Structure 1
Amino acid sequence: MNMSRTARTARVARAAAVAGLAAGSVLLLSGPAFAHVSVQPGTAEKGGYSTIAVKVPNEKDNASTVKVELNLDPKHPLASVMPQAVPGWDVKVEKTKLDKPLQMHGKTIEEAVSKVTWSGGKIEPGQFQQFPLSVGQLPTDTDELVFKALQTYSDDDVVRWIDPSKPGGEEPEHPAPVLKLVDKGQAGAGSHSHDAKDGKGAKATVETTDEKAAEKSDDGGSDTTARVLAVAGIVVGAAGVAFGVRARRRPSA
């Protein structure tokens, strides 16, 4: 009888250890899902106009993010880049003279936005912030726009999100944010915008209700899933360990 109880206790202890390892694995796997600076939504239509957001999570437990710099793709300049005001943050837009002027609505554009910087605010540990931008006209001669982002913390640490990602290769430690460009009609809901004429004949961006809802879902979908998995792993691991300890403490018959 004692040997049977001892064997059962050993099995419970092993199960508790496995549960603990599973919880740790979930945490490790879920971490990168919401740790990267990214562009949301990640897809837009070629030749159109879109409202995107630079999503910046705070990775540190002991420092706040105090500045975000976004460098636009110099190979594919955009004639229109307009930031939306973010409460508590100052925004600075820098332009560069183009080697080859762009044509937009019958006008010649000789300079384009090359960098946008947000500063003066704080992203506290465990939080993230989105910085919206209205961009266009998106190029038709490429399948992606690569942005390079610099994230500055209150302890003067600067994380450079500039590493290129290779198709089919291992993800770099600090991948550069990428906006995928697809042909018209291939982008999902919330990943594109429609062109409309305003009273002066200029094009204006119009978002549908479905697009706004999808954008809201994109904002927190991956983060929520990752956090739920992490919490579930912790609960399972803790329950397994507690059960194992109780089994060991139970007196033998």
Structure 2
Amino acid sequence: MKMSRVSLVGATAATAVLLLSAPAFAHVSVQPDGPAAKGGYATINFKVPNERDDASTTKLEVSFDGDHPLASVMPQPVPGWKAVVTKSALDKPLELHGKKITEYISKVTWTADGKGVEPGYFQRFPLSVGQLPEDTDQLVFKAVQTYSNKEVVRWIEPQQEGQAEPENPAPVLQLTAASDDHHGGAAASPTTAADKDAKTGSGDTTETASASADSSDTTARALGIAGIVIGVLGVAYGVLAGRRRPAAAEPGAGSGSGSGSGSAS
């Protein structure tokens, strides 16, 4: 009976941890290839998982913050997808490499030519971006994900400091300190994971080039969950074992009392 209680506590804890951590795997997110230094250039990847069992992701729209405009945004070709770059006028012109820039990239839209991101898969959408702003620590994007059944999910909610993560959080790119090389090492490198994928012909509408990195992410999270569950089981078992000890000591105490009276007589 007591062991079944331990099992129940462990199962409940494991379920709670998995439920709390599950949304983190499903978000549209953005990560750089290497550092994304302020004032420099970087290659960034929008990771789009398919959250549905009966529909494919067929379209992704990513909007850029007009308060921190980027003059250069170049999509890398993704097999099975067509990319369209949208420009908008700037209220205040920018100076970039000695040239006056009067417009910025306000949106990039990817549309599937084929099946898109099918259930159980995810896709990365790489962009070369710059120059990154120097007056902020992060860039917040707005992503809109469209499924083959016409369902639309808007990943546009900002994360408020000190509050729980919103249901549909916007992708956030964290910027690092400015470097001496404002061209940025990540964007300057001609061979990214997606490049290698394209050269070897292993590319598909689903992402395979960055499998090792994502596997490390998943492994780390799984180990963290396992650690929490094991910790909860240990505490529960210790509490229940502690409750049994006084009961086990009672026969010994009675025996000691009997022998004492015997010697007295």
Aligned residue for 2:15? 24
Unaligned runs of 5+ residues in structure 1 are: 1-9, 186-191, 196-203, 235-253
How far off its partner does 1:222 sit? 2.7
Q: Is the 8 A contact 1:30 1:229 kept in 2?
A: no
Aligned residue for 1:79? 71
In the alignment, structure 1 residue 38 sits paired with structure 2 residue 15 = no
Distance 2:212 2:137 in 1: 24
Change (3 A) 1:154 1:225: farther
Aligned residue for 2:155? 161
How far off its partner does 1:81 sit? 0.3
In the alignment, structure 1 residue 145 sits paired with structure 2 residue 139 = yes
Distance 1:151 1:25 in 2: 28
Query: Which runs of structure 2 are paired with 1:183-198 in the superposition (5 Å)?
Result: 183-184=177-178, 193-194=184-185
TM-score by length of 2: 0.69
Q: Cα RMSD between the aligned structures?
A: 3.0
In the alignment, structure 1 residue 206 sits paired with structure 2 residue 206 = no
Change (3 A) 1:86 1:171: same
How far off its partner does 1:193 sit? 2.9
Larger Rg: 2
Distance 1:131 1:208 in 2: 15
Larger proportion of strand: 1
Query: Which runs of structure 2 are paired with 1:1-253 in the superposition (5 Å)?
Result: 10-41=1-32, 44-120=36-112, 121=114, 122-184=116-178, 193-194=184-185, 205-206=188-189, 218-226=213-221
Distance 1:77 1:176 in 2: 17
How far off its partner does 1:26 sit? 3.4
Which residue identity lines up with residue 56 of structure 1 in the other structure?
Answer: V
Change (3 A) 1:207 1:169: farther
Distance 2:144 2:82 in 1: 16
Identity %: 57
Q: Is the 8 A contact 2:38 2:134 kept in 1?
A: yes
How far off its partner does 1:166 sit? 1.1
How far off its partner does 1:230 sit? 7.0
Distance 2:146 2:223 in 1: 28
Change (3 A) 1:134 1:216: farther
Aligned residue for 1:5? none
Which residue identity lines up with residue 188 of structure 2 in the other structure?
Answer: T
Distance 2:89 2:158 in 1: 25
Which residue identity lines up with residue 106 of structure 2 in the other structure?
Answer: S
Which residue identity lines up with residue 161 of structure 1 in the other structure?
Answer: W
- Where 2:21 maps in the other structure, the secondary structure is helix
TM-score by length of 1: 0.72
Aligned residue for 1:201? none
Larger proportion of helix: 2
- Where 2:106 maps in the other structure, the secondary structure is strand
